[in-house]
Chains A and B, each alone.
Chain A
Amino acid sequence: MSQKLLLNSKEIEIILHRLACQLIENHNDFSNTVLIGIQPRGTFLAKRLAHLLQTVYGIKNLEVGFLDITFYRDDFRRRDAPLEAADTDISFLIENKNVVFIDDVLFSGRSIRAALTAIQSYGRPENIELLVLIDRRFSRHVPIQPNYKGRQVDVINQEKVKVHWKETHKEDAVFLIPND
């Protein structure tokens, strides 16, 4: 199986800094903003961005949560493989907060659609934004677009975009994998 490297670790590092700066531009000191990583794979990006914001850009009291969307998906009973849930960890209310959803790859938009429903269980946010590392263009099933994106790619439907993080793999990288 031949896979193509879309982003290497250096490029990802630069992108993370840019995304962090863009977040600061819009949310200042984050006093009324929370970051929500979408389980399972958005959590790595959320943790990484939170770490950057706190250590490099001096943001204090940053609130970060993780949201599992399994029970809100629209493909329950429509898949061959059963769905497996992950932990939701949101220890604060999001009533009147600015919420930034964080995920690694935006493809059909259905996960984010589910996340928009799921987050309502924690209150009514002031507004919700979406940050993704990879935005797959022309593949949306629902009208959802990111506010912040690391890299926009054009990928045909049969191909997969896979994000490796150094927490789970040896180093950060984004690959394009043909689905054969």
Chain B
Amino acid sequence: MKQLSVDHLLGIKYLNKNDIDLIFETANHFKEVINRPIKKVPSLRDITIANLFFENSTRTKLSFELAEKRLSADVINFSAGQSSVKKGETLIDTVNNILSMKVDIVVMRHPNVGAGVFLSKHVDAKIINAGDGTHEHPTQALLDSYSIKEKLGTLKGKKILIVGDILHSRVALSNIFALQLQGAKVKVCGPTTLIPKYITSLGVAVETNLTKALEWCDVANVLRVQHERMDIKYFPSTREYTQLFGINQQILDNLGKKITIMHPGPINRGVEITSDVADSDQSIILNQVENGVAVRMAVIYLLAQQIKR
């Protein structure tokens, strides 16, 4: 019988290939569930989940909340903006206070790298990392891989390009780990200032010419330029970024093959990707969002299964 090799979902780097296969198999079943007339199963009716978002989020938070509700879990939400964190409470205190209300699983987004790992060592609950600073965003990488697999059938031997702000992207790092575990080849493309110096040590190739990179790939995962994490100027202007690294329909039409376009959202339309590309039939952006709920249901279900009564 299969179960996850980990106690928490803190990052893709802690998972193995079997874990990913199990999550995807389970997600297949939940995808069928969320397309039924009644989209809910009672599995987690005695489980309480706290969504702790110490950093802004729209789609990840909604997606997690929906996944939890579709599994019949009780859900409490917490945003740092309206909380005692502003009054100086520490992370462990905040979380332990919430856990005294008998919470079984914590889904946490935090601006600090390693916040999830830290928490998992100090509190008695299952932790799911919903993004820790510029480090990892495991459920996003899982839903990205799941969506590619759904579109192309397999990831083995496929060429996946990640374009944009690699330096500040937890999505990029988690995606690199997830894609490589499943046998895909990964290349990153972006301004040299936004590509981490030692990225090649992860076995990833670097290409700074967008057209060449697109010609190489089967799938391009386009990332958002994270202005909010940029304390200095990494490129002269948004306009120049768009001219060198923005993806438009004309570039795609000149490739001579049809590649798949992904974006983890939120999209800056007209900056890293034009509207006609984002809304075209090459784009699987909305499939990613739908699959996000199924994949998160799978992760929560598999972790909840480990909580003994």
Contact = CB atoms under 8 A, between A and B. Distances in A.
Interface of A: 68, 70-72, 76-78, 81-88, 93, 117-118, 120-123
A29 B191 CA distance: 69
A68 B43 CA distance: 13
Given A82-B3, A121-B37, A123-B37, A68 B308 contact: no
Interface stretch (B28-36, B122-130, B135-143): B28-36
A117 B38 CA distance: 12
A77 B41 contact: no
B1 interface: yes
24 contacts: A71-B29, A71-B41, A71-B42, A71-B43, A72-B43, A76-B43, A77-B46, A77-B309, A82-B302, A83-B305, A84-B1, A84-B2, A85-B29, A88-B29, A88-B32, A88-B33, A93-B37, A117-B42, A118-B41, A120-B38, A121-B37, A121-B41, A122-B36, A122-B37
B304 interface: yes
Contacts of B308: 77
A71 B33 contact: yes
Contacts, number: 57
Interface size class of B (residues with CB under 8 A): 20 to 34
B32 A87 contact: yes
Given A72-B41, A82-B3, A88-B33, 14 more contacts: A71-B29, A71-B42, A71-B43, A71-B71, A72-B42, A76-B305, A77-B304, A77-B308, A81-B1, A82-B1, A82-B2, A82-B305, A118-B41, A121-B41
Nearest to A76: B43
B307 interface: yes
Given A68-B29, A72-B42, A84-B2, A77 B37 contact: no
A137 B302 CA distance: 35
Contacts of A71: 29, 33, 41-43, 71, 301
A88 B41 CA distance: 13
B26 interface: yes
Interface string B1-31: 1110000000000000000000001101100
Interface SS majority for chain B: loop
Contacts of A68: 29
Contacts of A86: 29
B158 interface: no
Contacts of A83: 305
A86 B32 CA distance: 11
Contacts of B46: 77
Interface string B178-210: 000000000000000000000000000000000
A121 B43 contact: no
B61 interface: no
Chain B CB within 10 A, most for which of A78, A81, A85: A85
A72 B307 CA distance: 17
Contacts of B33: 71, 88, 121
Contact of B26 (A77, A78, A85, A93): A85
A121 B32 contact: no
A121 B40 contact: yes
Chain B CB within 10 A, most for which of A71, A78, A117, A123: A71
A88 B29 CA distance: 8
B42 A70 contact: no
Chain B CB within 10 A, most for which of A68, A121, A122: A121
Contacts of A93: 37
B34 to A, nearest CB: 11
Contacts of B39: 121
B157 to A, nearest CB: 27
Contacts of A121: 33, 36-41
Nearest to B45: A76
Contacts of B302: 82
A81 B308 CA distance: 11
B19 to A, nearest CB: 13
A116 to B, nearest CB: 12
Contacts of A85: 25-26, 29
